[in-house]
């Protein structure tokens, strides 16, 4: 299993576990949304996640992470190895992104 496949499988499991998350696929890109707000996009070898801008700024300083061109609230997470530390960050950031999407009341 490649890291991309591992990330995709992990995010699919988290989406199912958290509930009220929609998934869409367009070619090689998979997107997750809640309350009409896209909060995660898997493309290439990494995933982009929509977080609070302050959290995104802090997250951008962690290994395998940097800002996304999508905006200041987005980070790109592209782990070279999907180890326990990477999984912990992925789980926490995905859950936070889901909560933030629901709290935004459908506002992007």
Helix axes 84-103, 3-18, angle to 10 degrees: 40
Query: Which residues lie across from 47 on neighbouring strands?
Result: 42, 77
Can you give the pLDDT at residue 3? 78
pTM of the model: 0.92
Q: Is 72 in a helix, a strand, or coil? A: coil
Can you give the pLDDT at residue 105? 67
d(C-alpha 57, C-alpha 76), whole Å: 11
Per the structure, the count of domains in the chain is 1
Question: Containing domain of residue 84, as a range?
Answer: 3-103
Instruction: Please indicate, yes or no, if residue 29 is contained in any of the structural domains.
Output: yes
CATH number at residue 37: 3.90.1150.30
Instruction: Please indicate, yes or no, if residue 79 is contained in any of the structural domains.
Output: yes
Query: Could you report the per-residue pLDDT of 44-85, keeping only the tens digit for each?
Result: 889 999 999 999 999 999 999 999 999 999 999 999 888 999
Can you give the pLDDT at residue 50? 97
Query: Could you report the per-residue pLDDT of 22-43, keeping only the tens digit for each?
Result: 999 999 899 999 999 999 999 9
Instruction: Please indicate, yes or no, if residue 77 is contained in any of the structural domains.
Output: yes
Rounded to 5 degrees, φ, ψ at 34 are -145, 140
């Amino acid at each position: 299993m490649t890291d991309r496949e591992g990330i995709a499988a992990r995010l699919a499991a988290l989406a199912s576990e958290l509930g009220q998350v929609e998934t869409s696929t367009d070619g090689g890109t998979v997107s997750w949304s809640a309350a009409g707000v896209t909060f995660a996009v898997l493309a290439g070898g990494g995933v982009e996640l929509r977080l609070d801008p302050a959290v995104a700024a802090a997250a951008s300083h962690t290994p395998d992470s940097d800002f996304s061109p999508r905006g200041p609230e987005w980070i790109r997470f592209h782990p070279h190895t999907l180890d326990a530390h990477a999984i912990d960050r992925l789980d926490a950031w995905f859950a936070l992104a889901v909560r933030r999407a629901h709290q935004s009341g459908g506002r992007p």
